[in-house]
Amino acid sequence: MDVCCGRKGPLPPVRKGVKRTDLDIKKITRDYEVGASIEAVADEHGTSYGTVRRILIKNKVKIRPHGGQNAIELSPLLRPPPSRAD
């Protein structure tokens, strides 16, 4: 098993040949806004995470926080409900 930069498993294939001018920017932003992850959008459009992220930022799309503990601390929707004292 290859391990690189804390990532377990094989490295993803290098993506070549996709020009940013060939990308459907409206669909990329719409896919992300309806809940797809940046990685899923990148896979769908055959481009890199960084390219999708730059497109979203350039088009003033609010980037969601990463999952995990940081998201729980930032998002009131992901916090556990307060315990009730009986």
Low-confidence residues of the chain, pLDDT below 70?
1-8, 11-21, 67-80, 85-86
Residue 84 lies in a domain: no
Give dist(CA 68, CA 83) in Å, integer: 21
pTM over 0.85: no
Residue 8 bridge partners (DSSP): 3
31 found inside a domain: yes
| Domain assignment of residue 25, yes or no | yes
pLDDT for res 1: 47
Supply the pLDDT for residue 62. Answer: 92
In a domain, residue 58? The reply is: yes
Query: Which range marks the domain in which residue 21 is found?
Result: 3-68
- Determine the pLDDT at residue 15: 58
The tally of domains found in the chain comes to: 1
Cα 80 from Cα 28, distance rounded (Å): 32
